[in-house]
Amino acid sequence: MLHLNKINPFQFLSFTIAAMLILLTISCSKTPDVRLTLCQDMTELLLNSADNLEWKDHKAIIRGYNDLEMQVSYSLVNSDAPAANQASCFYTYIQNQDAVGAEEFNAPTSAFSTYPIKMILNGQFVDKKKLANLVNLAMVNQGKRAVVKVKETVDQGIETINEKVEN
């Protein structure tokens, strides 16, 4: 626990700066493509079996200026379902076709929206209304995970600072 009566203003300022740096580091850290994460999260929600899913492979298929297909392959652990299953999420091209930036060279999928226009799970199209609900629920779940991760990181930072203050 943070003991404010032991910390002088300089230490408090140092703690505040450290906490802000931790949050900045988390927000800028290298993470999987948001389109991939969203597709996986929606697949888990559709199958209602996050604990039994084992991700096999994924690939991004870019069809020029048409769309991006994010394919994810998975298997269901302890299930009679087929060994190989697949979900595909489709994203539209949004970048100005005349202005290709450095970000698009480094991350080609960045030229595509982060909101899927359609989804196919094991050959079956997901209804548009169901897709919209899935996206919303997946985003809420991602937000909850981010808050938990930030809290854990801040707690670790506080613990480290308390150890240094006590020593």
Structure tokens at 54: 């084992």
Residue 139 lies in a domain: no
Neighbours of 71 (CB within 10 A): 16
DSSP 52-121: GEEEEEEEEEE-TTSEEEEEEEEEETT-SS-S-EEEEEEEEB-S-TT---HHHHH-GGGGB-SS-SEEEE
- Quick one: pLDDT at residue 103? 47
pLDDT 10s digits, 61-111 = 998 778 899 999 998 887 766 666 999 999 998 866 554 554 444 577 888
User: 74 lies in which domain range?
Assistant: 32-126
> Amino acid identity, residue 125?
F
Same domain, 121 and 93: yes
Same domain, 45 and 107: yes
Overall domain count for the chain: 2
Same domain, 94 and 157: no
- Quick one: pLDDT at residue 161? 87
- Quick one: pLDDT at residue 48? 87
As a whole number of angstroms, the distance between CA 87 and CA 120 comes to 6
Same domain, 24 and 61: no
State CA 111 to chain mean position distance: 17
As a whole number of angstroms, the distance between CA 154 and CA 145 comes to 14
Asked whether residue 135 carries a pLDDT value surpassing 50, the answer given is: yes
| Mean pLDDT value across residues 152-164 | 86
Task: Give CA angle at 116 (115, 122), nearest 5°.
Answer: 150
As a whole number of angstroms, the distance between CA 72 and CA 89 comes to 9
Same domain, 62 and 19: no
Same domain, 22 and 46: no
Residue 131 lies in a domain: no
Same domain, 19 and 82: no
Same domain, 9 and 86: no
Task: Read off the pTM.
Answer: 0.68
Residue 44 lies in a domain: yes
Residue 138 lies in a domain: no
Same domain, 121 and 71: yes
Residue 66 lies in a domain: yes
Residue 36 lies in a domain: yes
Residue 135 lies in a domain: no
User: In Å, how far are 9, 12, 23, 92, 161 from 4, measured between CA atoms?
Assistant: 9, 8, 21, 51, 11
Secondary structure letter of residue 125 according to DSSP: E
Residue 137 lies in a domain: no
Neighbours of 101 (CB within 10 A): 11
Same domain, 13 and 79: no
